[in-house]
Amino acid sequence: MVDENQVKAEVGGIDAPRLVSLVERIERLEEEKKELQSDIRDIFAEAKSAGFDVKALRTVLKLRKMNAADRDEQEGWVAVFREALNF
pLDDT > 60? residue 4: no
Mean pLDDT within 72-84 = 95
Cβ contacts of residue 4 below 8 Å, gap of 6+? 17, 20, 21
Taking the model in full, what pTM does it have? 0.66
Q: What is the pLDDT of residue 50?
A: 98
